[in-house]
Structure 1
Amino acid sequence: MLRRARWGWLTLALLAAWPAAAGPLAERLRERWQAGQAEARAAGLPDGVRMLSALRYGDDPAETLDAYLPAQPQHAPLVLMVHGGAWRLGDKGASAVFLHKVQRWAPQGVIVLSVNYPLLPHATPPQQAQSLARALAFAQHQAPRWGGDPARLVLMGHSAGAHLIALLNADASLAHQAGAQAWRGAVALDSAALDVPAIMQHPHPRFYDDAFGAQPADWRALSPLHQQTAATPPILLVCSSRRADACAQAHAYADAAHALGARAQVLPQDLSHQEINAQLGLDNAYTRQVEAFLRDISR
């Protein structure tokens, strides 16, 4: 088991660093790893829940999603979950991304979608946001076939994924250009990149330079705080109170939203950055607070 786990992480790191066009060997490695991950994920699903694995929503090999369908969905709400990884790493099949969320919500009649997207250095955050806009449009188009209601969709993401869904949620024009219709709102799980200019104008980790570049105009364009409008759908900003910057960024975003007349709610948690993702879906007060927000925006 340990050897298999090590091989899985080694393969994931290799595929993240290797361009999709690197050749047949890279593609075979990717397909083999994804097939093994899909088999393992299906084994841990609740009774009656069905997984549709690696559905393509775009032309890039990384543009795929997994759909976890309840036993008998009827006009079901959807949660579209986006993994983190500093815009460079990560995968939709990591257990912290999907497992507890599916185990909790799919038996309640919710369709859970876990999304992959092209990563740095082969795709920049603006391109990643465009990919996720296509994923959103694809999910809404497919929703009736799955027993879902395309209007009852909520965006969710962790870390870099939280930044990307907050950016997509802030200004709906990108998603509408991709063919998406209105959605209910978003849940950002511990992003510390909501006010990008504020980050880049002070000492910061180098990976932010890789993501956001050196141009102030690009910082603003990639800053959810600066892209939101009065029409921005509601967002819940979960933040780790153990980090120095996450809750400060969340409160700054919420203050800017309230000044515009938009709705943003901050939910601090005494959890680590990783725990905020992995513990969502467990039977705890944190999960119930997120669910209260989801019920409220679905009325």
Structure 2
Amino acid sequence: MSSSWWRETDVLSILLYLIVLTLAFDGAASSNQLQLPECEITDVVDTPITFFVSKEAMEDYSPFVRSSIIDSWIQTSNQILKNSCVPMRRTFHQVVVADELNLVEFDEITLVHDLLEYHHFEQIEASASRPNHYYGVLFSTKRSTNTLPEQCGMTYVDVYPQFFIADLACSSDILEHELGHLAGAEHDIDTLSDQIDVRIDELKEITALHQQHAFRPYAFGYRCGGKGTVMAYADEWLPVYSSPDITYKGIACGGAKFANNAKRLREYALQLQERMVLDLNASMADVKANPSATTQ
């Protein structure tokens, strides 16, 4: 492969990164008409994220551009959480090269996870053992001509409650959108109605039994003032979760009974804190019960 090809690829990657930054600040540019609630965020839960980079993503994006996109995603996520009064913070943990994964596998999330677990078992086990840790695969459809917008990201919370897939070419809200799904946040009602074959009031019934405790009838995204909250499908988005306490152009960006994902995320943050305390207490109990195990 010639050096001129690499120079052309780097230029295209940098141009794409600039586009990503423009999309990232689209939400911020809307903030002059966005009214946010006053809140004091305390007891913030850190949520470290491990990013596995697929073969195409390695080839299509230079290390600088990949790193810059990840940084912009994390910054956007944290702005959305702050704006929505959610006591969580996204943090970068590590990047792991996963060039065993190819684009053709990304139509099936279970296959992706199986391959990832086979080749990177220790990293997966380390993340999955901590309730506040996430891990995801970054792929690239940069050379694809038939990728649909809804294929930007994917989760399967019933089976993999800490795992996501995301396309590096997508807008900077994609990370928080997928992590929102893992916290129990749903799309806007109109979009979800088009995506499933059951009525919204039947949604809980088709949710896996071990996940039904996380279902909330108000955990839906919303569109307000011509834009969508982070979980809604819309041409333009606002850097917030749906909430009746947030307005855009004087229009409420949610409802207490049907669109309050900000509340769902705050509940989820509290649940994470409780699980982390339980895990810590269990670890301390193990140390006290087996003191010799910690001395080698």
Q: What TM-score do you get using the length of structure 1 for normalisation? A: 0.38
TM-score (norm 2): 0.38
Asked which structure has the greater CA Rg, the reply is 2
